[in-house]
Amino acid sequence: MKLSNKIQSVEASGTVKFTPLIQKLREEGREIISFAIGEPEYDTPAPVVEATKHALDAQKTKYGPVSGIPELRAELAKQFDGYDADNIIISNGSKHSLYSLFQVLCDPGDEVIIPNPCWTSFPQQVKLAGGVPVLVDTINAQLDCEGIEKAISPKTKAILLNSPNNPTGAVYPKKDMEQIARIASKNDLYVVSDEAYHIFIYDNIDYKSFFAFEEVRDRAIITKSFSKTYSMTGFRIGYIAASKAIVNAVAKCQGHTTGNVCSFAQYGALAALSLDKRILSQWRAELEKKREIAYGCVSKFFDCIKPQGAFYLFPNVSRYLKNGKTSEDFAADLLEKAGVAVVPGEAFGMPGHIRISYAVREDILKKGLEKMTEVL
Ligand code: GLU
């Protein structure tokens, strides 16, 4: 008996595996500060919880439409000029959106270009679809557009963008996005743009969604999520905004995989869309402050790009790696000696680095940084 070659070629998620490990250490009585999983510290806003409870009371507990409840799709479409509800499909989070997208885009051997370092799941999801991830290293965490163009082959199907970026926090400037739009047009490629961190932008910089480039709208596929934006990680709700052809293809796939997304959770998501936007501005401002705290400390020890979005730092720790030690060993040491959990760069295709999520409570952030400082 043998499992498929496909599943054997896939690596386990380098981020989610930390949650049970940290829980186990805590159960053993260790005090662990986690900068590992990327999750906002905030409670899910009360109106979202209330609307979800209300939906439960109203028996919104049955099968629903595969593509999501119509009112949520219609409301989400309003962000996308010229789109209507049929351009939106609700999923069980960005991870699920991306999984389905690669299923509908890739034939066996088709290539997807991914700027590296990248979120742990991107290459694995391409492989799960029978595709081949083609990693192109970034330059100082920014896109190497020339390198991306050179990596295109007759098998290339799509370029994957993720700005603000996980794990680096880099935000891509408009000129680079334009360049990618040009490259995609010239080579007849899709552009999948994972914009899960779009509200976490700092320094007042100008952020552009890939949707902004009208001339390539037919090839743009935007994925967004409620998880980080509204602190609803456990609800598992995300969505895709794309051409109707793509949305219909993803619906075909979802119809055979998940059926519908949790019915009552979608009513919580609907309520999230009418939250007072000041809450989100406050979260963004608090995260910007935490970025300063975290970057101020971490940059004393390591080379690190100052992120302008998301809530991660991705320092290069290689000067601490003596005698053949890897960043995985370094992260294990940090957990053992400082009780601080981080994710090693191996999970993001870039050994020699660690990822630090600073979206934790400020006092916890400071305490964790102090513990790291002592050990370093
Ligand atoms: N996306 C978050 C992270 O990178 C959550 C974990 C995951 O889904 O990978 O930490």
* Sequential pLDDT tens for the chain (376 residues): 999 999 999 999 989 888 888 888 899 999 999 999 999 999 999 999 999 999 999 999 999 999 999 999 999 999 999 999 999 999 999 999 999 999 999 999 999 999 999 999 999 999 999 999 999 999 999 999 999 999 999 999 999 999 999 999 999 999 999 999 999 999 999 999 999 999 999 999 999 999 999 999 999 999 999 999 999 999 999 999 999 999 999 999 999 999 999 999 999 999 999 999 999 999 999 999 999 999 999 999 999 999 999 999 999 999 999 999 999 999 999 999 999 999 999 999 999 999 999 999 999 999 999 999 999 9
Could you tell me the maximum CA-CA distance found in the chain, to the nearest angstrom?
62
Of all atoms in ligand 1, which is nearest to the CA of residue 95?
A: 8
CATH code for the domain defined by 62-272:
3.40.640.10
| Residue of 11, 13, 16, 98 to test ligand 1 pocket, by largest number of atoms within 8 Å of CB | 16
Q: pTM for this one?
A: 0.96
What is the reported pLDDT for 162? 98
Of all atoms in ligand 1, which is nearest to the CA of residue 343?
A: 10
In what helix (H) or strand (E) does residue 224 lie, and over which residues does it extend? Answer: strand 220-225
Ligand 1: centre distance to CA 36 (Å): 9
Of all atoms in ligand 1, which is nearest to the CA of residue 16?
A: 6
Whole-number Å distance between alpha carbons of 59 and 104: 33
The alpha-carbon radius of gyration of the chain (Å, integer) is 20
Q: Atom 4 of ligand 1 has which residue's CA nearest to it? A: 38
Whole-number Å distance between alpha carbons of 133 and 160: 10
What is the reported pLDDT for 19? 84
The DSSP secondary-structure symbol of 62 reads: S
Q: Atom 3 of ligand 1 has which residue's CA nearest to it? A: 38
- 15 CB under 6 A from ligand 1? yes
Whole-number Å distance between alpha carbons of 148 and 133: 12
3-state DSSP call for residue 92?
coil
Tokens representing 346 are: 């191996």
What is the reported pLDDT for 259? 95
Ligand 1: centre distance to CA 138 (Å): 20
What is the reported pLDDT for 18? 81
The full set of domain ranges for the chain reads 5-43+277-375, 62-272
Tokens representing 221 are: 């596929």
3-state DSSP call for residue 373?
helix
Under 8 Å between Cβ of 350 and 318: no
3-state DSSP call for residue 167?
coil
Of all atoms in ligand 1, which is nearest to the CA of residue 36?
A: 10
Q: Atom 5 of ligand 1 has which residue's CA nearest to it? A: 38
- 37 CB under 6 A from ligand 1? yes
* Overall fold of domain 5-43+277-375: Aspartate Aminotransferase, domain 1 (3.90.1150)
What is the reported pLDDT for 321? 95
Q: Atom 1 of ligand 1 has which residue's CA nearest to it? A: 38
Ligand 1: centre distance to CA 15 (Å): 6
Under 8 Å between Cβ of 369 and 297: yes
Cis peptide before 117 (omega within 30 of 0): yes
Of all atoms in ligand 1, which is nearest to the CA of residue 233?
A: 5
Among 77, 371, 124, 95, CA closest to 243: 77
Q: Atom 2 of ligand 1 has which residue's CA nearest to it? A: 38
